[in-house]
């Protein structure tokens, strides 16, 4: 803890605190029925500016921008503390701004490499292969809920290509609240919010069902 609060480690401590804050904010947003990462992704970037080029190199499109930012903060912080620990054991800690340069240079390619692994497990809301309307009529599992007629929750399903999707959803009008973990049937869509009902038993037991377990 002494190293964490040392002046020469200030940039890395700030990065760690920003990571913790973003994590807490995203968890709170998910409980309220939306995602900060989704808002950031929809904001977009001018494809001709330098930031867009850097984000593209870091694998934006493969993973949400928020995930990339969190990865960068985590790896930058870890690299900085390791550099300062080594410098302290060899001689003296480096000035904060001097240590920040190699920490950033180490973290950028590491983020690019690790984002490819993260892309395999982080579901995306949209795809260029599957139209969102194709999800209507499929079964899913409530991931963030319960689903009611208020703020949207989240349901999780696979598309026909085996890719996972995390979709905003509400319960259909007149339906009681649908608990987390319940299998639901997607029956309609209003813009980017899907309408769900509890999946009928005959659909779940059908050999031709499109439920998550059989994809």
Residue 183: other Cβ atoms inside 10 A: 22
Cis, bond preceding 55 (omega within 30 deg of 0): no
Closest CA to 190 of 210, 171, 209, 164: 171
Angstrom distance (rounded) from CA 206 to CA 97:
62
Cα(118)–Cα(107) distance, rounded to whole angstroms?
15
Question: Rounded CA gap, 167 and 153, in Å?
Answer: 8
Give this prediction's pTM.
0.52
Q: Cα 42–139–133 angle (5° rounding)?
A: 45
Distance of CA 92 to the CA centre of its chain: 39
Predicted local confidence at residue 41, as pLDDT? 60
pLDDT for residue 203: 63
> What's the first-to-final CA gap in the chain, in angstroms?
47
pLDDT in tens, 39-55: 666 555 444 444 445 55
Query: CB of 76 within 8 A of CB of 104?
Result: yes
For the chain, how big is the Rg over CA atoms in Å? 22
Give the Cα separation of 169 and 196 in Å (integer): 7
User: Model confidence over 65-76: pLDDT tens digits?
Assistant: 788 888 889 999
Full pLDDT tens readout for the chain, 215 residues? 667 778 888 999 999 999 999 899 888 877 776 667 666 665 554 444 444 455 555 555 556 778 888 888 999 999 999 998 898 888 888 888 898 999 999 988 888 777 777 666 655 544 444 577 788 888 999 988 889 998 888 898 877 767 778 888 999 998 999 999 999 999 998 877 899 999 887 665 554 444 444 44
């Amino acid at each position: 803890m002494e190293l964490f609060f040392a002046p020469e480690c200030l940039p890395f401590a700030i990065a760690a605190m920003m990571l913790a804050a973003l994590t807490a904010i995203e968890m709170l947003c998910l409980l309220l029925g939306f995602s900060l990462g989704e808002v950031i992704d929809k904001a977009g970037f001018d494809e001709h500016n330098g930031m867009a080029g850097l984000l593209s190199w870091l694998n934006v499109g493969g993973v949400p921008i928020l995930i990339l930012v969190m990865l960068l903060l985590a790896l930058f912080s870890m690299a900085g503390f390791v550099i300062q620990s080594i410098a302290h054991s060899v001689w003296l800690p480096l000035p904060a701004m001097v240590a920040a340069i190699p920490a950033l240079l180490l973290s950028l390619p590491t983020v690019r490499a690790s984002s490819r692994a993260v892309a395999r497990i982080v579901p995306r809301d949209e795809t260029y292969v599957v139209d969102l309307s194709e999800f209507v009529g499929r079964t899913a599992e409530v991931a963030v809920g319960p689903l009611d007629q208020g703020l949207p929750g989240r349901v999780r399903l696979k598309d026909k290509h085996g890719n996972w999707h995390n979709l905003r959803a509400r319960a259909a009008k007149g339906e009681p609240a649908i608990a987390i973990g319940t299998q639901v049937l997607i029956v309609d869509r209003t813009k980017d919010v899907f309408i769900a009902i509890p999946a009928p038993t005959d659909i779940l037991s059908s050999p031709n069902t499109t439920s998550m377990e059989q994809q």
